[in-house]
Amino acid sequence: MTQTPSTTAIARTGALRRREALALLSALAAPWPALAQTELTDLARIRANGMLKVAVYKDNAPFSDGPAADMKGLDVALAEGLARQMNLKLSLLPFDAGENMNDDLRNMVWRGHYLGYGPADVMLQVPADKFLAQGNPQVMIFAPYMRQSVILMHDTRKLADAAVPEDLKGLALAAERGAGAASVLMGYGGGLLRNQVSIFNSGIEAAQAAVDGKAVAAFVTRAQAEATLFRNPGAAAHFRISKINFNNGIADTGWPVGMAVKTANKELAQGLEAAMKSLRDSGEMLAIFKQNGLTLTAP
């Protein structure tokens, strides 16, 4: 025979359930003020972890190159300096360049790669360009630390001077695969110089080809040219770096390069900017550039 609960028991059960429900509501409501009080800011979270994650490009000499466990270059040394100034350990996140800078910012700064790599706290070697910034509102680009520019590195024994592209006619030239400089060089004058251009996998390789006599001149970045001549001191005496204006796609004055963080991470940006200023004021920034054979240019 099935027993039927008494009216008193039902009343007690109802009272318990009401008390339990009220307790549950109280428990759910209570943590919100506590969370608000203990929530960490972006910089506090990084300091709590004790680690600064810095994204740098792979195969990007003279800025970041070599095996992941032993990368060398200006950006690597800069990342080490920034982490040290902020009393943090450094965790490098080397990555392969995407199709464009928008991909790189998405994968390494604000969202992370779909394969689960990243994002980093900060990414280096980011053009400080207003159009790039406007097209990527999820990131803040700030603290430019150098200026990139494209130059002609030429052997003065075979080409004493070069002022205009026509001066390059009939000469073996070198450029980097996929670089804007290669496109400008090969596209000038409807392809005037196209058949003279040899393409190499990197700007360093293109510059080295000129040093090795495989080309008279290389159209590369100043940093790539300087780093190559730094590694080949015997060649520096007969090579010259010249500016040559193609009036097509590349600014004569170059472009500033800085770093990027998530737009919301303003405190982190302030901390990094202060660290960068300390590196400049102490002379360490200049030393880093010299150690890599590069000229510290005003951004």
Over residues 69-109, the pLDDT tens digits come to 999 999 999 999 999 999 999 999 999 999 999 999 999 99
Question: Same CATH fold, 150-242 and 42-148+255-291?
Answer: yes
How far is residue 217's CA from residue 162's CA, in Å, rounded to a whole number? 10
Residue with tokens 């790189």: 104
Measure CA of the first residue to CA of the last residue in the chain; give whole Å: 90
Q: What is the pLDDT of residue 121?
A: 98
- What are the structural domain ranges in the chain? 42-148+255-291, 150-242
Counting as low any pLDDT under 50, the low residues of the chain are: 1-16, 18, 21-38
Q: What is the pLDDT of residues 124-165, one digit of tens each?
A: 999 999 999 999 999 999 999 999 999 999 999 999 999 899
> What CATH superfamily classification does 42-148+255-291 receive?
Periplasmic binding protein-like II (3.40.190.10)
Of the CATH numbers 3.30.479.10, 3.40.950.10, 3.90.110.10, 3.40.190.10, which one belongs to the domain with range 150-242?
A: 3.40.190.10
- β-partners of residue 76 are none
Q: What is the pLDDT of residue 90?
A: 98
**Tokens describing residue 16:** 């318990």
- pLDDT, averaged across the chain: 88
Q: What is the pLDDT of residue 18?
A: 47
Q: What is the pLDDT of residue 66?
A: 96
How far is residue 250's CA from residue 246's CA, in Å, rounded to a whole number? 8
- β-partners of residue 55 are 93, 123
Q: What is the pLDDT of residue 39?
A: 67
pTM: 0.84
Q: What is the pLDDT of residue 214?
A: 98
**Tokens describing residue 227:** 């780093």
Q: What is the pLDDT of residue 16?
A: 45
- Report the DSSP pairing between strands 255-262 and 217-221: unpaired
